[in-house]
Amino acid sequence: MSTGTTSPPAHWSRPPLIKATWARHTLTVLVLLYLVWSLNSLEVDWERVAKGLPRAADIFSRMVPPDFSRWELLSRGIIESLEMAFAATIAGMVIAIPLGLCAASNLVPKPVYLIARSIIVVTRTFHEVIVAIFFVKIFGFGPLAGVLTLIVASISFLGKMLAEDIENMSPGQVEAIKATGASFPKMLIYGVVPQILPRYLGVSIYRLDANIRHSTVVGIVGAGGIGQTLSATFSRYDYDFSLAILLAIIALVFIGEFFSSWARGKLR
């Protein structure tokens, strides 16, 4: 067998993702080592965790049936969340335009670009809840802090998407408008805006949907909306009302997602 041409192997096995054997084995060992290390370093109170399952059963049995009797409180929270999301999306859309223009490398000088980009990176890094805490500290409890948080998140997201769209647009139209002797604002209105407006509206509608989702959670640190009601029910062990709120949030998010994909489909 060893002599002559190589015959096809009797058994076929899938080609591995990583070709080099040593690299594959090293990676496996490293992953296992990491698992051992991380599981050990988490200080876990296993006794408490062991009690988890019966507790979970208890919590779930107290959650069902969901209690919708306080629907007034529920609907007030939901409406507040929705209002926060709408207000923040519109405000974010307006403020994101100058930021997005400044973050497009083909429109502005380098220093402006770098400043705008770093604003986007830094605001994107911090989770909404961290931003919300700061606004709660400055503006006090209530929906104002929540709206401002969502505005910050919307600006950095929309600004980033806008900048990328501007960078990817076709330069031909811009050059054509410039060739007519148009000024910078005219170039923006006739060369840039028509190319990016449909996508910008689409991204904004997506952001509205994202804001609805986030508006349900910033309340946990006191920034208004249904989240505030939800975290209160958890601290009062009011689990049947919690489930009612959770179901309402799921329905809200679902409707928001549906509306967002419908509206974006219409735009196309």
Partner 1 sequence: MTGSDALQARYPEIWRKYTPRQNAIRMLWYMGAVFVAVWSVRHLDIPWFYFLDAHVQAMDLGVRMFPPDWSYIDEVIDPLLETIHIATLGTIVTFFIAFPTAFLAARNTTPNTATWLFGKFILVSTRSVNTVVWALLFVAIFGPGPVAGVWAIAFRSIGFVGKLIAEAIEEIDHGPVEAIEATGASRLQVLLMGVLPQVLPVVYGTIVYRWDINIRESTVLGFVGAGGIGIQLYSSINQFAWSQVSLMLSLILIVVIVSEFVSATIRRWIT
- The residues that touch partner 1, with contacts defined as CB under 8 A, are 14, 17, 34-35, 38-39, 41-45, 48-49, 51-52, 55-56, 59, 79-80, 82-84, 86-87, 89-91, 121-122, 125-127, 129-130, 133-134, 137-140, 142-144, 147, 194, 213-214, 216-217, 220-221, 224, 227, 230-231, 234, 246, 249-250, 253-254
Task: Pick between residue 68 and residue 234 the one whose CB is nearest to partner 1.
Answer: 234
Task: Pick between residue 108 and residue 257 the one whose CB is nearest to partner 1.
Answer: 257
Residue 32: exposed, middle, or buried by beta-carbon count in 10 A (0-12, 13-18, 19+)? exposed
What is the closest distance, in whole angstroms, from the C-beta atom of residue 63 to partner 1 in the complex?
A: 9
Counting Cα atoms < 13 Å in the Cβ hemisphere of 174 gives 15
What CA–CA distance (Å, rounded) separates 91 from 154?
Answer: 9
| Residue burial 58-78, b: 16+ Cβ < 10 Å; e: rest | eeeeebeebbeeeeebbeebb
What is the closest distance, in whole angstroms, from the C-beta atom of residue 4 to partner 1 in the complex?
A: 28
Terminal-to-terminal C-alpha distance of the chain = 63
Task: Pick between residue 20 and residue 49 the one whose CB is nearest to partner 1.
Answer: 49
What is the closest distance, in whole angstroms, from the C-beta atom of residue 44 to partner 1 in the complex?
A: 6
Task: Pick between residue 159 and residue 256 the one whose CB is nearest to partner 1.
Answer: 256
What is the closest distance, in whole angstroms, from the C-beta atom of residue 142 to partner 1 in the complex?
A: 8
Q: Taking a C-beta distance cutoff of 8 angstroms, is the pair 129, 220 a contact?
A: yes
Q: Which residues are CB-contacts of 76 (< 8 A; sequence separation ≥ 6)?
A: none
